[in-house]
Amino acid sequence: MPGFVHYIPIGTTVMAIAFAPVVFRRWRHRKPAPHLYWWALGIALYGVGTLTESLTTLFGWNELVFRSWYISGALLGGAPLAQGTVYLMFSRRVADRMAMILIAVIAVASTVVILSPIDYAAVEAHRLTGSVMEWRRARLFSPFINTYAAIFLIGGAVVSAWRFRSDPNARHRFIGNCFIAVGALLPGIGGMATRMGHTEVLYVMEFLGLGLIWIGYRYNIRPGVDRAPEAPLRREAEPVAG
C-alpha cells in the first residue's frame, strides 16, 4: 500500500497547475519573450510528470502512465526550463539551434522509451521506476539530457546570483536566483536516487524544488525595479526568473 510520501506528487501537481499559467500569462504580455514560453512549458511538463506519479499512487501501475512519466519526468523534467535560460544566455539564432538539437534528442529518446518492452516481473503496484524497461540503454538518454538541464538552469541561476551579489539595489535578485539554483538542483538529486531504486526521494525533491523555484521567481519579478526583471546574463539589467 502507498504511504504518505507517495501522495506528495498530488501537491506538486496542484502547485504546477497554479504556477504555469502565471508564467504563461507573463509571456503573452511580453512577446517576443521565448524564454518565458519555455519556462511556462517546462513548469507545465513538470506538472505532467508529477500527475503521472499521482495517478500511480491513486490507481496503481499502468503502462501508459509509466511511459508518460518517464518521458515527462526523466527526459523533460528540467530541459524546457533550461532551454528558457539558453534563450537569455545566447543569441536567438544559437538558442534556436540548441533547441532543435534538444528536441531531436528528446524525440529519439522518447521513441526508444515508447518501444521498449516492459519487464512486468519488475513492476511494483504503486511505485514507478525506469528499471522495468527491458531495453537498459533507454535509460542512457536521461543523464545526457539532465546534464544539459543542470548546466544551463542551475548554472544560469548561479551566474546571475553571482553577478548581483554585491549590488544592494538587486539584493532580491541575488536571493531569488539562489532559491532557483537550489530548487533546480533538488529534482536532479531525486532523479539520481530514483536510478538507485529510491523513487520516494524524487517525490519529496520535486515538491521542494518547484516550491523554491516559485519563491525565486517571485523575488525576481518584484515590481518597480527595472523594466524587464526576468532575464539573466545576456541582458545586463535583467535576472533569471524561472
Q: Is 81:153 a contact under the CB 8 Å cutoff? A: yes
Q: Nine-digit cell at 234?
A: 545576456
Contacts of 106 (CB under 8 A, 6+ apart): 75, 76, 79, 145
DSSP letter (8 states) at residue 118? B
Asked whether residue 50 is domain-assigned, the answer is yes
DSSP letter (8 states) at residue 206? H
Asked whether residue 186 is domain-assigned, the answer is yes
Q: Nine-digit cell at 139?
A: 535509460
Consecutive H or E run containing 93: helix 92-115
Query: Coil, strand or helix: which one is 124?
Result: strand
Burial of 101 (0-12, 13-18, 19+ CB in 10 A): exposed
Q: Shortest CA distance to 56 belongs to which of 189, 183, 200? A: 200
Quick one: pLDDT at residue 223? 57
Asked whether residue 177 is domain-assigned, the answer is yes
CA distance 221 to 225: 9
Q: Nine-digit cell at 80?
A: 524546457
Supply the range of the domain harboring residue 159. 4-220
Regions of the chain with pLDDT less than 70: 1, 223-242
Task: Specify the residue for cell string 523533460.
Answer: 76
Asked whether residue 232 is domain-assigned, the answer is no
Q: Nine-digit cell at 156?
A: 544560469
Quick one: pLDDT at residue 237? 36
Query: Coil, strand or helix: which one is 78?
Result: coil
Quick one: pLDDT at residue 194? 78
Asked whether residue 203 is domain-assigned, the answer is yes
Asked whether residue 133 is domain-assigned, the answer is yes
Instruction: Report how many domains make up the chain.
Output: 1
Quick one: pLDDT at residue 241? 47
CA distance 146 to 73: 10
Asked whether residue 43 is domain-assigned, the answer is yes
CA distance 174 to 162: 7
Q: Give the CATH number, domain containing residue 62.
A: 1.20.1070
pTM of the model: 0.86
Asked whether residue 225 is domain-assigned, the answer is no
Q: Nearest 5°: CA angle at 18, between 7 and 83?
A: 95
